[in-house]
Amino acid sequence: MSEAAANTDPSALAGPQDYFALLKPRVMSLVIFTAFVGMVAAPGTLHPMLAAVALLSIAVGAGASGALNMWWDADIDAIMTRTANRPIPAGRVPRAEAAAFGGFLSVLSVALLALASNYLAAGLLAFTIFFYVVIYSMWLKRLTPQNIVIGGAAGALPPVVGWAAVSGAAPLEAWVLFAIIFLWTPPHFWALALYKRGDYERAGIPMMPVVKGERSTRRQIFAYALILAAAGTAPYLIGMASAFYLVVAAAMGAVFITLSWKVLRADDQDHGPAKKLFGFSILYLFALFATILIEQLVGLYV
Amino acid sequence: MSDVDKTSPSAPQTTALPTDAKKQRDRRNLSIALGLGVFIILVFAVTILRIGGAGTQ
């Protein structure tokens, strides 16, 4: 903590940008995108203004859970170099204020989504916040190396929330989108954990490479890559996407498997392939969801 | 006023904030006010739309 932060009331030094940072804007952008795809792919229509408010509610709900996560994890964020400059460990925002901010936005986002769309979507958003904060942050994160496997459900729910906001239902198609993100989460985060292992070790977080070692993690990344590549084609198989989507999903899945194979074959000290896989995994998810979005928007597949 | 009064725990204690800190606090307060304003407008607009029959079709 800086001297200035230590000697004055931290709340006096916090600016709006610090509260915005509490919302984890990069995670929020992924949530907005996947929820938007869910909304567009869902049958039915919603007034554009209500759709915009619903999307804003989902984004704010995701941000609120990010703020509550930072409140709960402030002690370990201070230890990890990747997170040490976050508003709470850097001393710019007091913990209690972050908790109040996150709690307030949680209630507000769920209420606004209920008003703009329906109770199913609002209930799913409330469950997403609860799952991320209580099940993942408070319970699983410091307990088990399966933390992000189970906790990944929270990050996978936004397209289901978006689908429910428009259609008032959560059918199989919405859960296929959920499954793609759910299966994508472990290889994505384990690739990161491979080259940030020291950070997690110091903070005492039982990430897979810390508990089971790098070799086991690399094997599991490859196994998940195989399952993910197969699951990525599911939207075509259940009839919610065209052959064009199948080509994109198959090609991206093949690259994902290839990069995971390189991670598997790499030496323990060689983290280059893990960094490449981490970067590509973001592109993979974006490509699959963007293809579904484009197909729906241009009427290629309705 | 006696010395006892001056050290009384109920006596108000104020500390002047440094200029930078005051500016930051003012910016934050303005942001909160704007955020609440936007929320109120959104709730009003959504309510009007729902009353008018807009919604899931």
Q: What is the pLDDT of residue A133?
A: 97
Name the more confident of A13 and A31: A31
What is the average pLDDT across A247-256?
98
pLDDT over 50 at A143, yes or no? yes
Contacts of B47 in chain A (CB under 8 A): 115
Nearest to A203 by CA among A84, A113, A77: A77
- Integer Cα distance of A28 and A62 in angstroms: 6
Q: What is the pLDDT of residue A213?
A: 93
On whether the CB atoms of residues A14 and A92 are closer than 8 A, the answer is yes
Contacts of B54 in chain A (CB under 8 A): 47, 49-50
Q: What is the pLDDT of residue B19?
A: 80
> Is the CB of A168 inside 8 Å of chain B's CB atoms?
yes
pLDDT over 70 at A108, yes or no? yes
Tokens of A181: 């993100």
Sequence letter at residue A257 = I
On whether the CB atoms of residues A206 and A142 are closer than 8 A, the answer is yes
What is the average pLDDT across A48-75?
96
Q: What is the pLDDT of residue A12?
A: 56
ipTM: 0.71
Contacts of A117 in chain B (CB under 8 A): 55-56
- Integer Cα distance of A17 and A139 in angstroms: 29
Percent of chain A clearing pLDDT 90 (strictly above): 87
Tell me the residues of chain A between 235 and 274 that have a Cβ less than 8 Å away from chain B. none
Q: Between chains, do A166 and B27 touch, taking CB under 8 Å as contact?
A: no
> Is the CB of A105 inside 8 Å of chain B's CB atoms?
no
In a 10 Å sphere around its CB, with 0-12 CB exposed, 13-18 middle and 19+ buried, how is residue A144 labelled?
middle
> Is the CB of B43 inside 8 Å of chain A's CB atoms?
yes
Tokens of A78: 């201070």
Q: What is the pTM of this model?
A: 0.88
Partner-chain residue, chosen from A12, A46, A50, that has the shortest CB–CB distance to B24: A12
pLDDT band at A10, cuts 50/70/90? Answer: low
HSE-CB at A276 with a 13 A cutoff on CA atoms is: 15
Q: What is the pLDDT of residue A63?
A: 97
What is the average pLDDT across A97-123?
96
Calculate the average pLDDT of chain A.
Answer: 93
Partner-chain residue, chosen from A47, A108, A166, that has the shortest CB–CB distance to B54: A47
Q: What is the pLDDT of residue B10?
A: 61
Chains A and B: how many Cβ contacts under 8 Å?
A: 61
Sequence letter at residue A52 = A
Q: Which residues contact B52 (CB under 8 A, 6 or more apart)?
A: none
- Tokens 């009007």 — which residue? B48
What is the average pLDDT across A241-248?
96
pLDDT over 60 at A64, yes or no? yes
Q: What is the pLDDT of residue A7?
A: 43
Average pLDDT, 10 consecutive residues per value, chain B (57 residues): 51 72 82 90 93 73
Q: Between chains, do A8 and B18 touch, taking CB under 8 Å as contact?
A: yes
